[in-house]
A and B are shown apart, each in its own frame.
Chain A
Amino acid sequence: MTADSSRLERASARGAIARLIQSDVWTVALIVIFVALYVFTVLLRENYRLDALAIASLPVAFAAVGQAIVVISGGIDLSVGSVMALTNVIAAVLLESYPELAVPIVLLVLVIGLAIGTVNGALVVLSRVPDIVVTLAMLFVWAGAALLVLGTPGGGSVDWLNDAIKGGLVVDYLPMALVLLLVIVFAIWIPLRRSRLGLSIYAIGSDQLAAFRSGVDIARTKIAAYALTGLFASLGGLSLTASTGIGTPIPGPYLLLSVAAIVLGGVSLAGGRGGLLGPIVGIYILGLIRADLTFLGVEPAFSTVVQGVIMVAVVMIGAYLTLRRRRAT
């Protein structure tokens, strides 16, 4: 019996490794694509530095992470760009007036992000109006709020915040902004993924009835997912403050980029599937493609067409490979 069970253990351990590679094969492929693109970029521009990309990508990477969480839970948050703008201007205004209170201000902005997300989630749950409609409405609400806080670009930041995302850690090839992003995201996500809340987020996105019957509190889990999205949106807003040094009340194209990145990153828009590393790599790939097209002298208007085509192609290839793998097994 012991021999039997140990054989079983070994078999399942081997299965686990195979599964790990298989389940993350998409992320691995994305990383390969990213490295290839990076090499290509360096060939184009010898002095191309990764930290420029990392700094430029930091705000939208946080947005993509937040979006990924809510999409995994089966929802979508269209207000993510507006929340970034709102938290960006709140931070800029407060930091300009009270630079000595920078640390409490940063914490306050994060709490505001969490609160905004909770409001979004609570409205979705209580109103029973579809997520996409509620968050579309909140997109306008939070965008308006940002303009009320700061009518025109302005405000300020503090040096340590600006410096926190600049340069490299130890070596130049490891951009500080990337390290910061990964540390923050995974310090929050890894413990969460293993907790009951993390499982519940996947569960309600995967099969709501099965989750309900498994004893998951759908409403509370949904609100928690939106709250996390709000938290990451406020991290995006803070990194906007840090990278630009000011507050800008008009949101950038972060919403659409965040959705593009999670689709590219292997998160199912139907919910229940995907992780957070894929969307982050997705953001970097999108950034590199944009840079390369610029270096190649492609007209900016045409370069967005190319970006779109590349996205569809990559996702189609991914779907095709998944399908083939499923047929093979």
Chain B
Amino acid sequence: MSDLLLEANGVVKRYGSVVALRDASLAIRPGEIHALMGANGAGKSTLVKVLTGAVPPDGGDIVLKGERRRAHSPAEARRSGLVSVYQEPAIVPDLTVLENLALTETPVDAFRAQLEPLGIGRLDLRAMAGTLPLATLRVIDFARALAIEPDVLLLDEMTAALPADLTAGVIEAIKRFRGTDRSVIFISHRMLEVAGLCDRATVLRNGATVGVVDVTPGAADDIVSLMLGPGSDEPRAPGDPTAVTRTPMPSRVGDAPPRLAVQGVAAGRQLQDVSFDLHAGEVLGLVALEGQGQDELFEVLSGQRRPAAGELLVDGAPARFGHPADAIRAGIVLVPADRSAALLMQRPVAENVTLPRVARPSRWGPINPRRERAIVRRAIERLQIDTRAQSEVRRLSGGNQQKVTIARWLDAGVRTYLFYDPTRGIDIRTKREIYALTRELAEGGAAVLLFTSELDEIHRVCDRAIVIFGGRVVHELAAAAADEPTLLRAAHGLESRPAGSAA
């Protein structure tokens, strides 16, 4: 127990003038599941890159199994016993699953043995990886890591976008490391997962390790206050670090048609028949497991795809969207989970913010630079975007990128927001800012449709929620009644308990 499996001491990493890690330390005992926590920009990703050899550190040292080591590539780290799995699976799309195994020199039989308990036992190993669903690829990546039997398994946000049924198998597999001579480093923004799974947690803030916490009941509060730091004196309810103040929803004008009425919409294979109304001034939550038709629904609503059946009414008038520009003209905009699907990653923040305003073909001619600067400054201030690296959006952290995606629509006359899992892979502090902003938008009269993979966001942010299963709305309930067991049962297509519907 006294001997450490992996140790990082005083790791320093600078990118030019930006200091990503000042003094990061980490001590992993054999047989433990160790959480690595920290807000956006705290240095988690950089520490992971240093540990896996993707970038060389500028100072400090890493000791694995008592040996001082500096891996120069992921391959070397893998050989010395440290294997990592990321949110974006390290699977090459144009090779088959078998070829991907050969590429990483993974024993096929050991890999195959992992599939059944992880819930993908029917996987065809000769399938081209690029044709498989993303969730399956994530689990394949994980199974491959298990098959190598690493000393240290590093999981970086790998459960962030996994549907609930696949997550269960992954969690079980992680738990099997406990008490062995091998360990797991677990990185997740989902406090509940960390609380339920991990033994200890190391918390990073501003590039330095600020504490190591034993994960006991109630430790979540300690972790959050360590992550936020002493400087933050924002009010927060005990046990609910992301609570937002919510003013009661103004009562709806009885006669006004809904901002957006969806009637019997079907598209593709998944979306069968979905109807709901989205009113001005409300945040409507949407809960669904992966692949229940929500992707197609958002594509239809944002004008990326024509529905096979059904109708959309905007303010009571039928609307047909042949192009996202049509939806934007109708005041409906999409904020996707994948920031790179919305932003010009290689262009500056300012251009990204102003693009929706200047992209209208009806407004040719020069752009007024003073007006542009004012708009950008206002958006940046309102959303507290960290602009240290604003010359290229891709150099911002994930949370700040998501803020830019939202910022670009503020003041642009948008009245309906489609949020598709906007807080995926984002730290708790930025999440809270996005929750507050979502409420603010609704209270300003906008209508917000919020699909989320995190069930607690329903009662944190929404007024009302619908659950989609098998391409149909199977449940609708007020946010107050939307406790997680009820939502989870409905999302799995189970009948809701009589008590739940009565409440």
Which of A16, A19, A206, A215 sits near B104, CB closer than 8 Å? A215
B90, B102, B105, B126 — most chain A CB neighbours (10 Å): B90
* Chain B residue with the shortest CB-CB distance to A204: B92
Residue contact A213 to B84, C-beta cutoff 8 Å: yes
| Candidates A8, A203, A215; contact of B95 at CB < 8 Å | A203
User: For the complex, is B480 an interface residue (Cβ under 8 Å from A)?
Assistant: no
Given contacts A203-B103, A210-B89, A210-B93, contact A215 B75 (CB under 8 A): yes
Interface positions, chain A 247-295, Cβ under 8 Å from B, are 272-273
Residue B92 contacts which of A15, A206, A329 (CB distance < 8 angstroms)?
Answer: A206
Given A12-B126, A15-B127, also A214-B100 (CB < 8 A): yes
Per-position 1/0 for A179-201, Cβ under 8 A of B: 00000000000000000100110
B344 at the interface (CB under 8 A from A): no
In this assembly, does A173 line the interface, its C-beta being within 8 Å of a C-beta of chain B? no
* Contact across chains for A217 and B75 when beta carbons are under 8 A apart: yes
Residues of B within 8 A of A16 (CB): 126
What residues of A have a CB within 8 angstroms of the CB of B89 in the complex?
210
Q: For the complex, what is the distance from the CA of A73 to the CA of B95, rounded to whole Å?
A: 13
- Kindly state whether residue A205 has any CB partner on chain B within 8 Å: yes
* Beta-carbon contact of B103 and A19 below 8 Å: no
- Measured CB to CB, the closest approach of chain B to A75, in angstroms, equals 15
Chain A binding surface SS class: helix
- Please measure, in the bound complex, the distance between the C-alpha atom of A16 and the C-alpha atom of B125, giving whole angstroms: 10
Q: Does B86 contact A (CB under 8 A)?
A: yes
Residues of A within 8 A of B124 (CB): 11-12, 15
Whether A163 is near chain B, meaning CB under 8 Å from some CB there, is no
Known A12-B125, A19-B128, A199-B99: A212·B74 in contact at CB below 8 Å: yes
A200–B103 alpha-carbon span in the complex (Å): 7
> Which of B94, B95, B127, B128 has the most C-beta atoms of chain A within 10 angstroms of its own C-beta?
B94
- Check B78 for interface membership: any CB of A closer than 8 A: yes
The answer to the question of B91 belonging to the interface, with a C-beta cut-off of 8 Å to chain A, is yes
Q: How far is the CA of A8 from the CA of B99 in the complex (A)?
A: 19
Minimum CB distance partner of B76 in chain A: A215
Count of residues in A whose CB is under 8 Å from the partner chain: 27
Q: Is A54 an interface residue (CB 8 A)?
A: no
Question: Which residues on the A side are within 8 Å of B84 (C-beta)?
Answer: 213
> Which A residues, 11 to 27, have Cβ-Cβ distances below 8 Å to chain B?
11-12, 15-16, 19, 23
**Contact at B122–A8, with CB atoms within 8 Å?**
yes
Interface flag for B411 (CB, 8 Å):
no
Q: Which residues of B contact A217 (CB under 8 A)?
A: 73, 75
Answer yes or no: B240 CB below 8 A from chain A CBs.
no
Interface of chain B residues 59 through 94 with chain A (CB within 8 A): 73-75, 78, 84, 86, 88-94
**Could you tell me the distance between the alpha carbons of A209 and B86 in the complex, rounded to whole angstroms?**
11
Interface size in chain B (residues, C-beta < 8 A): 29
- Whole-angstrom distance between the Cβ of A323 and the nearest chain B Cβ: 14
Contact with B along A45-68 (1 / 0, CB 8 A): 000000000000000000000000
Measured in the bound complex, the distance between the Cα atoms of B75 and A196 in whole Å is 13
Question: Are A215 and B94 in contact, with the CB atoms below 8 A?
Answer: no
Of B54, B91, B127, the contact of A210 (CB 8 Å cutoff): B91
Chain B: CB-nearest residue to A212: B74
Using Cβ atoms and an 8 Å threshold, which residues of chain B touch A213? 54, 74, 84, 86, 90
Residue of chain B at shortest CB distance from A200: B103
A108 to B440, CA, bound (A): 74
Contact between B74 and A203, CB atoms less than 8 A apart: no
Q: A196-B102, A213-B74, A215-B104 are in contact. Are A202 and B95 (CB under 8 A)?
A: yes
In the complex, number of A-B residue pairs with CB atoms less than 8 Å apart: 80
A199 to B104 CA separation, bound complex (whole angstroms):
10
Question: For the complex, what is the distance from the CA of A202 to the CA of B96, rounded to whole Å?
Answer: 11
Q: A196-B102, A212-B74, A214-B104 are in contact. Are A19 and B92 (CB under 8 A)?
A: no
Let me know if B103 and A214 touch, CB within 8 A.
yes
Asked whether, in the complex, the Cβ of B78 is within 8 Å of the Cβ of A206, the reply is: no
Residues of A within 8 A of B93 (CB): 206-207, 210, 272
Residue of A nearest to B77 (CB): A215
Asked if residues A202 and B75 are in contact (CB atoms below 8 Å), the reply is: no
B75-A199 in contact (CB<8A): no
Most buried by A among B73, B92, B103, B104: B92
The chain B residue with its CB closest to the CB of A193 is B99
- Minimum CB–CB distance from B284 to chain A (whole Å) comes to 31
Q: Which residues of A contact B78 (CB under 8 A)?
A: 215
Q: What is the CA–CA distance of A80 and B496 in the complex, to the nearest angstrom? A: 67
Taking the closest CB of chain A, its distance from the CB of B258, in whole angstroms, is: 32
**Which residues of chain A come closer than 8 Å to B91, judged between CB atoms?**
210, 214
Mark contacts of B202-245 with chain A using CB atoms, 8 A cut-off: 1 yes-contact digit, 0 otherwise: 00000000000000000000000000000000000000000000
Within 8 A of B (CB), among A90-118: none
B444 to chain A, nearest CB (A): 39
In the bound assembly, the distance between CA atoms of A206 and B100 in angstroms comes to 12
Q: Give, as a whole number of angstroms, the nearest-CB distance from A11 to chain B.
A: 8
User: Which of A8, A12, A202, A215 is B73 in contact with, Cβ under 8 Å?
Assistant: A215
Residues of A within 8 A of B105 (CB): 196, 215
Q: How far is the CA of A265 from the CA of B104 in the complex (A)?
A: 29
Which of B448-502 touch A at CB < 8 Å?
A: none
Report the separation of the CA atoms of residues A106 and B386 in the bound assembly, to the nearest whole angstrom: 62
Q: Contact at B127–A211, with CB atoms within 8 Å? A: no
Q: How many Å lie between the Cα of A280 and that of B229 in the bound state?
A: 64
Provide the bound-state CA to CA distance between A9 and B130, in Å: 21
**B102 to A209, Cβ gap below 8 A?**
no
Find chain A residues with CB under 8 A from B92 CB.
202-203, 206-207, 210-211, 214, 272
Closest residue to A273 on the B side, CB-wise? B94
Q: Do A216 and B126 have beta carbons less than 8 Å apart?
A: no
Contacts of A205 in B (CB 8 A): 94
In the assembled complex, the Cα of A329 lies from the Cα of B127 at a distance in Å of 13
Residues of B within 8 A of A207 (CB): 92-94
6 shortest interchain CB distances as A-B pairs: A215-B75, A213-B90, A206-B94, A272-B94, A203-B92, A210-B90
Q: For the A-B complex with A12-B126, A207-B94 known, give 8 more contacts whose Cβ atoms are closer than 8 Å.
A: A15-B127, A203-B94, A206-B92, A206-B93, A206-B95, A209-B90, A211-B92, A211-B103
- A-B pairs with beta carbons under 8 Å apart, 12 shown: A199-B99, A203-B94, A203-B103, A206-B92, A206-B93, A206-B94, A207-B92, A210-B93, A212-B90, A213-B54, A215-B73, A216-B75
Residues of A bordering B, CB below 8 Å: 8, 11-12, 15-16, 19, 23, 196, 199-200, 202-203, 205-207, 209-217, 272-273, 329
